[in-house]
Amino acid sequence: MSIGIGIDALAYFVSPSALLYRQKKAPHYKETFVCILDTAETIRQAQKDDRIARNHCYLCRFTGMAWLVWLINFCIVLSGVFLGLYQVFVSKDWTADFCLGVKFHQGFAILGALLVFGGILYFATNFFSSIFDENCKSFLNRGANTPNTAPEGVHSGRLSENA
Amino acid sequence: MTESLSSFSYGFALFLSLASLAVYLSGAIWHRISRGTVAGFRLDFTLGIPSVRNKESLFAYSLVASGTSLSTVMVFFLTSGSKYGWWLFLCPFMFAFGNWLMFKVYTTALAQGSLDEEADTPGVAGLIPYIGQRVSGSRRIGWLLVLLSVINLLAVLVLELIVGVEIISYLTHNTFGTEGGHLFDFFLFLVAIGLLMAYVVVGGFRAVLSSDIWQFNAIKWAFILALGGVLYLAFAEGTLDRGLVEISKLSLAHPWEVFCFVVALGVANIFLPSSQEASWQRFRAFREQADFSIRGALIQSIGNALFLWSVLILLALGLLVVAQGNAAGQLDNLSGVLGFLRTLNDSFFPFFIFPVISLAAVSALFSTADTCIAALLFLLEYTRASRQVAPPKRKILGLPPDYLISLLFILLFAVGSYLFVRWMFRPTILQLIFSVWSNLVVIAPTVISAALLGPARPEEAKRRSKYIFLSLTAGFGFYWMPALAALILEGDYLWLNQISIAIGLVASVIPLIPLWLQRSKPARA
């Protein structure tokens, strides 16, 4: 369980998904961005098996969303860091108004709560990514015998590596 | 803190709670889309599980998240620290023991053949009525078990929603500065149950399991962060030593109440897990997974339950420490606890801990309530399958018509119960918790009989069904007599509610003793 808590902690404090993958908690993200740029139709054409194609599309979309959520969480953390730096070196007053009557220490608390919510979103997107990754692999393992004819850049090596 | 900032704090908590609901709902929609057209709709709808690598973790998270309800766990622990003190720590250990017993009953019943599914078996229907049918050889026992389980699940669902509506209503009114009213609460109740039903109808059991993981994590981290904040405050103010002594004194202050509490919680936490259809639904769903280890699932479930509940109890006691006596009276209801948390300072608590705990409360509500609806559909399916009526092929709104009838039944019962409890009969939440949550304990002896006795042979069926019928009706009757008396009588009769659990259990055990003593060898070697 302690490992589980450690992984959760990593996720909540916006570790990149690649770290989670190393702990076997998230799918591989190597070619995600290339995959996201392709249309669903391209992927469908590349995969003969419609089930794999469908799951493949969802996998790409959720993987992309997981990265997006990670990016937003990371922005929240960066905002916190800049806010902290500004407070320490420029403002030097914790109780001073930061914006719209919100003081610095209140601003940090709000960013923290947003980060917790971001953590839930991050879990959800990662979870769906891993579901679709498993789906694709299980379809391939069931002997779909689909030749991997995906054109270069359409996530071609990843599934056969993992399967 | 200025008034506008105070409203912002409430509004922020409301926003995060509703946003988390939106995440859970969108999860259900994605499950539906990803499922596509499935040939075995019923099997997939009531027992489908998401394809994840670590199925033991999925099982454990789901079991603990659905067991960690808003009303019977979160509200109960957070509001009864001042009443029972250190004794609250008995609960996680009893619950862990109850989970162990449930796994033991399940594996033994499986080995005995009580869970074997035959030609006339309702394979995708309620498992508790089915094992009751197998051990007694009587379908009527199955229907009786459906009735008892349905009453309990519906009551838990309504109780969760009553508490959930209170929280959302509290946040809404404080955000917009409006006055509370019964009509608005009823409107919130209708919206909440509508969303829950839509969620289960759209996503099926898969969505329930998936969201359990996120909900478990949301609850866990909210409790850990809140506990960290409260401990920091206790250390900073130097109130820890004095507070711990106070809690020790409180723990010994009311021996009779503590005795009743220990009896009630001991009996309920040990026997309830094995009586809940939701637990058995999970067993049935994971049974056919080749790479699923029941031992691994057991260890993770117990570990997660012990950890989560202990952190929550520490938080409840930590609040007492920082409350320092005079504010402790505020901690006897959830709104009071939330209000207290919000005002502990003017930054970290109102803008971080308070919204995060509100989010956890909504997650706890949703995890238990969606489990109740999924289990109810699974149970009610038994009433069709046990009569061997073929499932209708036609679908309305993507669902077979019998599921829609079940949903309508759930909705009508839930609305009726809500109106009855809120407008006609106004017990305290603690009374409702003890009455509603524990009545299922009378089923436990029958379920344990399935493990002890195995399936009934034709010559045993008549005798067994008589004894089991007597056990269930006597248990139910003897449970509700003192429980109803406690609810109706004016004054503080919570102890009577608590004792009724033990009375119900004893009454349901006695008729089964002859069967257990004369048990023959299992029907299957």
Kindly list the residues of chain B whose beta carbon comes within 8 Å of any beta carbon in chain A.
2, 4-5, 8, 12, 16, 19-20, 23, 27, 30, 33-34, 36, 50-53, 57, 210, 213-214, 217-218, 220-222, 225, 300, 303-304, 307, 346-348, 350-352, 355-356, 359
- List all residues 6 or more positions away from B52 whose beta carbon is below 8 Å from its beta carbon: A127, A130, A131, A134, B58
Q: Which alpha helices (DSSP H) does B254-389 contain, by range?
A: 255-275, 277-287, 294-323, 334-342, 348, 354-385
B217 to A119: CB separation less than 8 angstroms, yes or no: yes
Judged by a CB distance cut-off of 8 A, whether residue A142 touches chain B is: no
Q: Point out the residues of chain B with pLDDT beneath 70.
A: 1, 33-41, 118-124, 325-329, 391-392, 397, 424-431, 490-491, 519-525
- If one counts every other C-beta atom within 10 angstroms of the C-beta of residue A102, the result is 17
- Domains of chain A, residue spans: 2-162
A106 to B347: CB separation less than 8 angstroms, yes or no: yes
pLDDT score of B311: 92
A119 to B221: CB separation less than 8 angstroms, yes or no: yes
Distance, in Å, from the CA atom of B437 to the CA atom of B152, rounded to the nearest integer, reads 7
Judged by a CB distance cut-off of 8 A, whether residue A119 touches chain B is: yes
**CA-wise closest residue to B389 among B43, B125, B116, B130:** B125
Q: Residue A26 pLDDT > 60, yes or no?
A: no
Chain B closest CA to A68's CA: distance in Å? 15
Distance, in Å, from the CA atom of B127 to the CA atom of B381, rounded to the nearest integer, reads 10
Distance, in Å, from the CA atom of B206 to the CA atom of B47, rounded to the nearest integer, reads 8
Tell me the C-alpha to C-alpha distance, in Å, between residue B105 and each of A17, A91, B283: 40, 64, 11
pLDDT, one tens digit per residue, over A31-58 is 444 454 455 555 555 555 566 666 666 6
Distance, in Å, from the CA atom of B331 to the CA atom of B337, rounded to the nearest integer, reads 5
Q: Residue A20 pLDDT > 50, yes or no?
A: no
Tell me the C-alpha to C-alpha distance, in Å, between residue A2 and each of A7, A16, B186, B221: 9, 20, 42, 14
Q: Residue A149 pLDDT > 50, yes or no?
A: no
Give B220's Cβ-side CA count (13 Å radius): 25
Distance, in Å, from the CA atom of B185 to the CA atom of B380, rounded to the nearest integer, reads 29
Phi-psi label, residue B398: left if phi above 0, alpha if psi -120 to 50, beta otherwise: left
CB pairs under 8 A between A and B: 94
Distance, in Å, from the CA atom of B143 to the CA atom of A33, rounded to the nearest integer, reads 55
E strands within chain A?
A: 97-99, 102-103
Distance, in Å, from the CA atom of B381 to the CA atom of B385, rounded to the nearest integer, reads 6
User: Of residues A26 and A61, which shows the higher confidence score?
Assistant: A61
A58 to B36: CB separation less than 8 angstroms, yes or no: no
B221 to A12: CB separation less than 8 angstroms, yes or no: yes
**CA-wise closest residue to A15 among A126, A129, A109, A128:** A126
Tell me the C-alpha to C-alpha distance, in Å, between residue B93 and each of B195, B291, B307: 34, 29, 10
Measured in whole angstroms, how far is the alpha carbon of residue A127 from the centre of its chain? 9
User: Mapping DSSP to helix (H, G, I), strand (E, B) and coil, where does residue A99 land?
Assistant: strand
Domains (range + CATH), chain B: 3-108+124-517 (1.20.1730)
Q: What is Dmax (Cα atoms) for chain A? A: 66
User: Of residues B132 and A67, which shows the higher confidence score?
Assistant: B132
Per-residue buried b or exposed e for B380-415, using 16+ beta carbons within 10 Å of the residue's own CB: bbbbbbbeeeeeeeeeeeebbebbeebbeebeebbe
Q: Hey, what are B63's tokens?
A: 């079991």
What are the residues facing B396 on neighbouring strands? B399
Q: What is the mean pLDDT of residues A70-89?
A: 83
Taking CA–CA distances from B359, the nearest residue in chain A reads: A117
Q: Say what angle helices B294-323 and B55-67 make with each other, to 10 degrees.
A: 40
Distance, in Å, from the CA atom of A122 to the CA atom of A129, rounded to the nearest integer, reads 11
Which pTM does this prediction carry? 0.82
Among candidates B36, B52, B352 on the partner chain, residue whose Cβ is nearest the Cβ of A131: B52
Among candidates B4, B213, B222 on the partner chain, residue whose Cβ is nearest the Cβ of A127: B213
**What end-to-end distance do the CA atoms of chain A give, in Å?**
27
- List all residues 6 or more positions away from B188 whose beta carbon is below 8 Å from its beta carbon: B165, B168, B169, B172
pLDDT, one tens digit per residue, over A94-125 is 666 767 667 777 888 888 888 888 888 888 88
Q: Are B109 and B115 in contact (CB under 8 A)?
A: yes
How is A17-36 classified by DSSP, letter by letter?
Answer: HHHHHHTTSS---TTHHHHH
Which run of H or of E encompasses A67?
helix A50-86
Chain B closest CA to A83's CA: distance in Å? 15
Tell me the C-alpha to C-alpha distance, in Å, between residue B312 and each of B34, B63, B227: 36, 17, 8
pLDDT score of A45: 57
Q: Residue A153 pLDDT > 50, yes or no?
A: no
**CA-wise closest residue to B501 among B272, B300, B187:** B272
**CA-wise closest residue to B495 among B434, B412, B453, B438:** B434
Judged by a CB distance cut-off of 8 A, whether residue A122 touches chain B is: no
- If one counts every other C-beta atom within 10 angstroms of the C-beta of residue B113, the result is 15
Among candidates B4, B225, B350 on the partner chain, residue whose Cβ is nearest the Cβ of A101: B4
Distance, in Å, from the CA atom of B440 to the CA atom of B149, rounded to the nearest integer, reads 7
Taking CA–CA distances from A112, the nearest residue in chain B reads: B352
Chain A closest CA to B4's CA: distance in Å? 9
Q: Hey, which residues 37-76 in chain A have their CB within 8 Å of chain B?
A: 51, 54-55, 58
pLDDT score of B310: 92
Question: Does the structure's ipTM exceed the value 0.90?
Answer: no
* Average pLDDT across chain A, whole number: 63
Chain B contact set for A163 (CB, 8 A): none
- If one counts every other C-beta atom within 10 angstroms of the C-beta of residue B358, the result is 27
- If one counts every other C-beta atom within 10 angstroms of the C-beta of residue A126, the result is 24
Judged by a CB distance cut-off of 8 A, whether residue A139 touches chain B is: no
Rg (CA), chain A: 20
Q: Is the dihedral of CA A116, A120, A126, A130 positive or negative?
A: positive
Chain B contact set for A4 (CB, 8 A): 57
Chain B closest CA to A153's CA: distance in Å? 24
Among candidates A108, A120, A138 on the partner chain, residue whose Cβ is nearest the Cβ of B214: A120
Chain A contact set for B19 (CB, 8 A): 117
pLDDT score of B110: 83
pLDDT, one tens digit per residue, over B271-319 is 888 888 888 888 888 887 777 888 888 888 899 889 999 999 999 888 8
B16 to A117: CB separation less than 8 angstroms, yes or no: yes
CB < 8 Å & 24+ apart, contacts of B460-466: B460/B137, B460/B520, B461/B136, B461/B137, B461/B138, B462/B137, B463/B515, B464/B135, B464/B136, B464/B137, B464/B138, B464/B515, B465/B136, B465/B137, B465/B138, B465/B140, B465/B141
